[in-house]
């Protein structure tokens, strides 16, 4: 099975270390996979747009499964393997974790010193729906991918879950962890944040209604 790992990435001050650690991590857990950085090229970096572009690149490369992983996020190897195998035939996106263990500055420093991820200081977060997605291209497009109208920081991953649940059912989770590394937090522009939240509300209103959800997704392609 051909697998591509695609990392949405545009260089920002202070994030280079997390990016380099992430590349090293993928080389260790998926040594046979092609690993690429992806940037949709929008004026303001778009996580949703770059995730969609990742899937397009996977299609062009002939990858059966694409792992879309943030440039600061590591993952347990066993649930990742289960997610890759399951995503190939299930018709759903797989999330290779149940707990998001945010490492913070202390945990990241410990990891850099060689402490195993499972033993690094971390703050557990439950219910996270971003970070790493495992999918086939056809599954990704079957529920619209991610809405590129979300600009700057915020809410595209929550909207994505509403679309997936409404059109495909719950994403498949695997018992395990992801580990976001510490890095400087970018500024959040209030007008963009407010616009993103307003769009999220529309996804919440369409949740559970396939016809309304498809209409909302179709708007994003216009």
- Strand blocks (E) in the chain: 3-8, 34-38, 65-69, 73-75, 94-95, 99-102, 123-126, 132-135, 172-173, 177-180
- Among candidates 94, 88, 110, which has minimal Cα distance to 179? 110
Q: What is the mean pLDDT of each run of 10 residues along the chain (222 residues)?
A: 95 90 97 96 91 97 97 97 98 98 96 96 94 98 95 89 98 98 69 88 98 95 72
- Among candidates 67, 51, 36, 47, which has minimal Cα distance to 186? 47
- The DSSP 8-state label assigned to residue 184 in this structure reads P
Give me the residues paired with residue 200 across strands: none
Do residues 127 and 170 make contact, with C-beta atoms less than 8 angstroms apart? no
Q: What pLDDT sits at residue 81?
A: 98
- Strand blocks (E) in 20-135: 34-38, 65-69, 73-75, 94-95, 99-102, 123-126, 132-135
Entry pTM: 0.94
SS3 35: strand
Handedness of CA 141, 145, 147, 152 (dihedral sign): negative
User: Is residue 81 classed exposed, middle or buried when 0-12, 13-18 and 19+ CB atoms within 10 A define those classes?
Assistant: middle
């Amino acid at each position: 099975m051909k697998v591509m790992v695609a990392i949405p990435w545009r260089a920002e001050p202070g994030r280079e270390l997390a990016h380099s650690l992430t590349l090293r991590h993928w080389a260790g857990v998926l040594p046979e996979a092609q690993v690429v950085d992806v940037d949709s090229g929008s004026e303001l970096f778009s996580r949703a747009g770059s995730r969609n572009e990742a899937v397009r690149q996977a299609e062009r490369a002939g990858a059966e499964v694409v792992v879309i992983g943030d440039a600061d996020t590591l993952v347990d190897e066993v649930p990742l393997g289960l997610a890759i195998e399951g995503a190939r035939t299930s018709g759903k996106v797989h999330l290779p974790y149940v707990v998001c263990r945010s490492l913070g500055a202390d945990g990241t420093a410990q990891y850099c010193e060689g402490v195993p991820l499972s033993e690094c200081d971390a703050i557990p977060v439950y219910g996270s729906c971003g970070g790493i997605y495992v999918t086939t291209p056809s599954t990704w497009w079957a529920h619209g991918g991610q809405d590129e109208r979300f600009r700057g920081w915020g809410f595209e991953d929550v909207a994505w879950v509403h679309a997936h649940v409404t059109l495909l059912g719950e994403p498949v989770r695997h018992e395990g962890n992801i580990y976001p590394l510490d890095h400087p937090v970018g500024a959040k522009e209030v007008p963009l944040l407010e616009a993103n939240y307003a769009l999220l509300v529309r996804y919440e209103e369409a949740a559970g209604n396939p016809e309304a959800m498809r209409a909302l997704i179709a708007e994003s392609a216009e």
